[in-house]
Amino acid sequence: MRMLSRAKRVVGVALVALLACLPCVVLAQDEAGGDAPTVAGTATVEELTDFRSYLMFGFSLVFVLIIGYLVVSQRRNAALAEEAEFLKKRIDELGK
Amino acid sequence: MQASKPSVAAGGGGRATFALHAVAALACLCALNWLVATKVPLHIQMLETSYLIFFYHFPSAILCTVFFTINAVFSVFYLATQKPSYDLHARVFAEIGLVACCIALATGSVWARMAWGEWWSFGDPRLLWVAIMCLSYAAYVVLQQFMEPGERRMRYAAVFAVAAAINVPLVKYAIQFFGENQHPMEMTSSDSSLKGTQWFGAFAFLLFYLLVYRWRIAKEKVRASIESSLSAARRIEEGRLA
């Protein structure tokens, strides 16, 4: 079960990393000459600036998701720490 | 006798500073995105817009070597003192260093595809050493995760970490030692916004990785606390049965 849980975590991290790389891949496709604007092609500066705005939005969204998860998880950690502290005290009292 | 209820304040201060830390990291990362989207030049030298990924590649690349160095320092401390807390810090720094290294490799690979026309260059000494370093620390994390917990695991891991740290100066000086192939020594531009954004990015990512570090440490401490409660309960149970 622990192995499975770890595997799930690894898959989760890999998905987040893929999500984080997605804008870069899109950018790379643009550079390769896709339909989206390219510097070498016919793109105007305005189009490129728009594209960079999408990139900024994408990355910011990824960071919000990751940091949001960390904050929620940390709250859970704190609640668990309190429970563990309480449990330890009870066990110590029972052991006396 | 009724056990006292756990204090709500327990960890309260830590929670507040963690939240502040998270807000600061998020604000800096979003500011970095804004700088990349609006302030830096669209293209420099021969590089086109694909160079923008540099602002995400550089911080992770530089910080992974910093974290691996800290991991080695904590490992040496552990070998000198045998304190388990040093092992915990070494382990967590290796984990976040490995994440940073993977991000550096992934973003570098995308960039290489655009700049050099290939995802990976086996002839480039820096790329090769970074890959070796990444695999070394992946092995370290696997060793830490899958060996039986205890003093033996900590000692083996500490020795392994000290040996793996040899990769760090090799990565740093790979170009000086083995010559520049494709990976440049550094990016140069007359635009001052480039250097500023580059180092601001390093700071923003440092805040982010330190947040992950605090989260991992808290998680490990909770686990240790639960395990200690369980072992105390088992001892009582065994005492009763005896």
Please report the ipTM that was assigned to this predicted complex.
0.75
* Best B222, B238, B241 residue to mutate vs chain A (most A CBs within 10 Å): B222
Predicted model pTM:
0.77
Classify residue B111 by burial, with Cβ atoms within 10 Å: 0-12, 13-18, 19+.
Answer: buried
C-alpha B242/C-alpha B238 separation (Å) is 6
C-alpha B57/C-alpha B127 separation (Å) is 13
* Best B49, B105, B110 residue to mutate vs chain A (most A CBs within 10 Å): B49
**DSSP type of residue B40:** S
The chain-wide mean pLDDT, for chain A, equals 68
The dihedral through the CA atoms of A66, A77, B146, B171 has a sign that is positive
Mean pLDDT of B139-156: 90
- Measure in Å the smallest separation between the Cα of A22 and chain B Cα atoms: 10
- The verdict on A17 touching B (C-beta cutoff 8 Å) is yes
pLDDT tens-digit map of B10-63: 344 577 888 899 999 999 988 888 888 777 776 665 566 667 788 888 899 999
Residue numbers in B near A89 (CB within 8 A): 3-4, 6
pLDDT tens-digit map of B181-224: 556 656 665 667 778 888 999 999 999 999 999 999 999 888 88
Q: Do the Cβ atoms of A77 and B218 come within 8 Å?
A: yes
Residue of chain A whose Cα is closest to the Cα of B113: A28
- The verdict on A86 touching B (C-beta cutoff 8 Å) is yes
Cα A33-A38-A39 angle, rounded to 5 deg: 130
- Please tell me whether residue A6 adopts helix, strand or coil conformation: helix
**DSSP type of residue B53:** G
Show the low-confidence residues of chain A (pLDDT under 50): 28-29, 31-42
Residue numbers in A near B43 (CB within 8 A): 39
Q: Which of A17, A56, A85 sits opposite B6 (nearest CB)?
A: A85
Residue of chain A whose Cα is closest to the Cα of B119: A28
Q: Residue B60: its pLDDT value, please?
A: 92
B129, B68 Cβ separation under 8 angstroms: no
Which A residues, 43 through 62, put their C-beta within 8 Å of a C-beta on chain B? 45, 48-49, 51-53, 55-56, 59-60
Cβ neighbours of residue B176 under 8 Å, at least 6 residues apart? none
